[in-house]
Amino acid sequence: MTTNEPLLRAIRLALDGDWQAAHEIAQADPGADAAWVHGWLHRVEGDDANAGYWYHRAGRNPGQGSTAEEAEAIARALT
């Protein structure tokens, strides 16, 4: 298992509709990549204020375009 495999799993879970399980994975990891996924998850949820906090912690700008496109970009960056 790669270091980022749990975060990739979180993305897959969220895309499959299991936001809660995805959120738990992202929340358990204190790293910047997890904060990026965490921000994306809150963007998916529609909670832009909370998403902004997590994007800031990740050192990333909030995603542009669709959340599905951002998920693909995050996954590419994590592999």
pLDDT one-digit tens code per residue, 2-55: 689 999 999 999 999 999 999 999 999 999 999 999 999 999 999 999 999 999
Number of domains into which the chain is organized: 1
**Start-to-end CA span in the chain (Å):** 12
Task: Give pTM, 2 decimals.
Answer: 0.94
Q: Which domain holds residue 66?
A: 5-78
Q: How confident is the model at residue 3, as a pLDDT?
A: 83
Task: Report how far Cα 41 is from the mean position of its chain's Cα atoms.
Answer: 5
Q: How confident is the model at residue 2, as a pLDDT?
A: 64
- CA dist 48 and 3 (Å) reads 28
Nearest residue to 10 (alpha-carbon basis) of 20, 32, 2, 1: 20
1 pLDDT more than 60: no
Q: How confident is the model at residue 64, as a pLDDT?
A: 87
Nearest residue to 26 (alpha-carbon basis) of 73, 76, 65, 71: 71
The dihedrals phi and psi of 10, each to the nearest 5 degrees, come to: -60, -40
For residue 35, the domain's CATH number is 1.25.40
